[in-house]
Amino acid sequence: MQTWTEGYVTELNYTHGYYRELSPSLQRLALLAAGYAPPPDNGAYLELGFGQGLSAVIHAAATPCPLWGTDFNPDHTGHAQSLAQAAGVAAQLLDDSFAELVERQDLPSFQYIGLHGIWSWISDKNREHIVTLLRRHLAVGGVAYVSYNALPGWSSGLALRHLLTLHAETAGAESQGMAGRVEAALAFAEELLEKGAAYFKANPLAVERLKRIRGQNRNYVAHEYFNGHWVPMAFSELAEWLSPAKLSFAASAHLIDHVDLVNLTPEAQAMLAGISHPILRQSIRDYFVNQSFRRDLFVRGARRLSPLEQQEEWLATGFALLTAAADVPLRIAGALGEVGLQETVYRPLIDAMARQGYRPRTFAQLREELPQLSFGQLGQALLLLVGAGHAHPAQPEPVVKRVQARTAALNLELCKRARSSGEINFLASPVIGAGVPVPRFHQLFLLARGKGQKTPEDWAQFVWSLLSAQGHRLIKEGKTLDSAEDNIAELTRQAVEFADKRLPVLKGLGIA
């Protein structure tokens, strides 16, 4: 008998991750960089399969977009609703299946519909429901974000995934629970590797993948590898799936993909330039980079910007640093490996973005301050900084003012939760309309600061009072710190570093 789970892992809940490519501001920049007109910044947003809902709630708080979302796991939806309600964030967060969502009569027209990862983990029937939703409810000019496990990069991992799920289904006991079956399957695969299975000798990438799995969160591993439906898909297949919804590929939401210099050899660039068919060109590019995960933006009724329109949009776009200027590395990882960034371009740009208290600067302002950089150099540098997670496009000032109270309420709730848990390591920025990595202790330092405690020493004492009351101790260099003095000293060191490096950035982002 088919259950409501339809083969999807529900025994273990998904992780509390935040996925930046779902943010409207980043999607708008990706479309702009590819020469397409983006949707309005206040368009309605639907997230399908939102997991624990952290991305959905952050975007509901930090953007002007009316937000809807669904995840058919009621545990996930309950968590998302409790977080939104505690922070006073308005969002329609449902536990409808995709089949149930299709039948709803109250769905509006959406300018943004996002799916992070879920496409790879569901049945063809549910994919059909998603295509129906896109056809009925994505507005003309609207954008659909779909991220998914892709071919050819996953080719070497197909047999490994089959091995893991086969062991879990045939040798795993129900009494082990999903977590136990995952551990047993991984141990079995490692035993095969140790005993010289020819598959692993012939597929060194599978060996590396198995090593990576060992270090990953087990809840994530269960969802990624052990669902009943799991299909990595070639880009051309996805494009064919979405064509009935009148969608055409526009751009990658992973902004590093926009810069060929760090991804493709000159020979590869020349070959791709000679391929006119967009589906074939993207597919051949995937073979050049051995793509295993795609983050695609498809548009319904894509409108090309004229060169003048594109330039005007670039000039008006703001950018904010997410990393302290001194900590931004002048190296970046692309498909060709790690490459160095030109110091004469990036160091003046990073320093300019850090001035004025890390407040966002428009492209036009940066260009005026950095006349030695051409329009193209500046645009490429910003794309790489954003793609690497060191910067992010900013929202217009009127939007920032509109959402400030909501993000403050959400961040206060998240910081309060950090008193007893380190599961959520992001806060919402009204400046960029997106989430920002903020680890647990930094959240607690912010909480202490919000209570009027002014010095790093005070913040450290505040955090220690919370940890010691729960019997917790810090670990430094692999060793547990036993004494109160050692714990306070380490917390004070971290608080001083936070005050010097991280706090100025968070102030510029409207978080502190």
Q: Where are the domains of the chain?
A: 20-152+231-300, 155-225, 307-394, 400-508
Name 434's bridge partners: 429
Domain 20-152+231-300: what homologous superfamily? Answer: Vaccinia Virus protein VP39 (3.40.50.150)
* Residue 103 CA to its chain's centroid (Å): 29
pLDDT at 9: 52
Q: What is the pLDDT along the chain (512 residues), one digit of tens a residue?
A: 345 455 545 444 557 889 999 999 999 999 999 999 999 999 999 999 999 999 999 999 999 999 999 998 999 999 999 999 988 889 999 999 999 999 999 999 999 999 999 999 899 999 999 999 999 999 999 999 999 999 999 988 888 888 888 888 888 766 678 888 888 888 898 999 999 999 989 889 889 988 988 888 877 777 677 777 888 999 999 999 999 999 999 999 999 999 999 999 999 999 999 999 999 999 999 999 999 999 999 999 999 999 999 999 999 999 999 999 999 999 999 999 999 999 999 999 999 999 999 999 999 999 999 999 999 999 999 999 999 999 999 999 999 999 999 999 999 999 999 999 999 999 999 999 999 999 999 999 999 999 999 999 999 999 999 999 999 999 898 899 999 999 999 999 999 999 999 999 999 999 99
d(CA 191, CA 356): 57
Strands (E), 118-219: 138-149
Direct distance between the N- and C-terminal alpha carbons of the chain, in angstroms, rounded to an integer:
52
pLDDT at 134: 98
d(CA 426, CA 434): 10
d(CA 130, CA 97): 10
Give 313-365 pLDDT, tens digit per residue.
999 999 999 999 999 999 999 999 999 999 999 999 999 999 999 999 999 99
d(CA 373, CA 473): 50
d(CA 135, CA 131): 6
pLDDT at 248: 97
Overall CATH class of domain 307-394:
mainly alpha
* Contact (CB, 8 A) for 97 and 72: yes
* Residue 172 CA to its chain's centroid (Å): 32
d(CA 374, CA 496): 39
For residues 463-490, one letter each, b for 16 or more C-beta atoms within 10 angstroms of the residue's C-beta and e for the rest, the string is bbeebeeeeebbeeeeeebeeeeebbeb
Tokens of 101: 């969502």
pLDDT at 174: 67
pLDDT at 173: 65
Q: Quick check: helix, strand or coil at residue 243? A: helix
pTM of the model: 0.91
